Structure 1
């Protein structure tokens, strides 16, 4: 079994907030510096944040669950 985790690349992120509003689960929160962080426990893994990011700052990583 495998699942995707989404991560935000800080060097690409412009902090525009589009991912915050696109996330249907409210799984993206801002850290102390204003950088969005994806809360894995809340994430639905739907990819809405990745699709809306014009900077391609959100990447997916497939993890194996054995």
Structure 2
């Protein structure tokens, strides 16, 4: 068991400025089937760059327990 930080994009706050896409070193932010942006949680490096650059606070994080 370990702790893992996960990042989420809230579509109601996201203005699609794409700054998070530009700053993501892992390039794991893309468009979902519904047209909103989403983060591929399995490939995310959890560096927090996307959250830091978002002016609209559309990206949040939470810590989850991960059972291996």
TM-score by length of 1: 0.91
Which ranges of structure 1 fall in alignment gaps of 5 or more residues?
A: none
The alignment yields a C-alpha RMSD, in angstroms, of 1.2
Equivalent position of 1:17 in the other structure: 18
Structure 1 stretches of at least 4 aligned residues deviating more than 4 Å after TM superposition: none
2-structure distance, mates of 1:39, 1:28: 6
Unaligned stretches of 5+ in structure 2?
none
Residue of structure 2 in register with 1:56 after alignment: 57
- What TM-score, normalized to structure 2? 0.88
